[in-house]
Amino acid sequence: MTTAIYPGSFDPITMGHLDIIQRSARIFDHLLVAVAPNFSKSPIFSTAQRLEFLREVTQDLVNVDIITFQGLLVGAAQKNNARIIVKGLRAISDFEYEFQMASMNKKLGDDVETLFMATSTKYSYLSSSMVKEVAQLGGCIRGLVPDAIHDKIVSQLLG
C-alpha cells in the first residue's frame, strides 16, 4: 500500500488545495492531509478549525485521513509510513522554495521522496493569503473555497 502525505497550513483550505487532495487520492492508496505548523505565519483559523474544515470537505474520500503534526515533516511522514510527500506548485515562483525544501527533506530522510503536482490552471493564482485578504476587504470568495465551508470562513473573517 502506498501512503503519501500532503502538508500545508490550510489557513483556510482553498479549491486549489482540494484539487490537489482529490487528484492525489486517485493516485495513492492512502493520503494523509497534514495540517502543518508554519512558524513564519500567524494563522487566523485554529488548528482544530482547519482540521474540521478539511474533514468536512474530504469526507467522501475514503482513502484520505486528516492529521496534524509538530516538528519536521519528514518525521511525520516516517512515523505514518508515508514514503511520498506531495507538494502542489502553482507557478514557477513556487518551484525554487519547494525544491529547496524537497532537497532538505531528502537529506533528513533518504527514504522519503517528494512529488511535485502542478495545480490546475484554474486555481494557479489562488492562495490562502489571497482568500483571507479578499474576504476581509468585503470581496466574494465563492468558488475560491469549498462551498461546504464558505459561510464558516466568511463569518470568522468578517466577525
- Could you give the residue numbers annotated as active site? 17, 41, 90, 128
3-class state of residue 23 by DSSP: helix
Cα R_g (the chain), whole angstroms: 15
Helix (H) or strand (E) holding 8: strand 3-8
Q: Residue type for 71, please?
A: G
Read off the DSSP letter of residue 145: B
d(CA 137, CA 83): 41
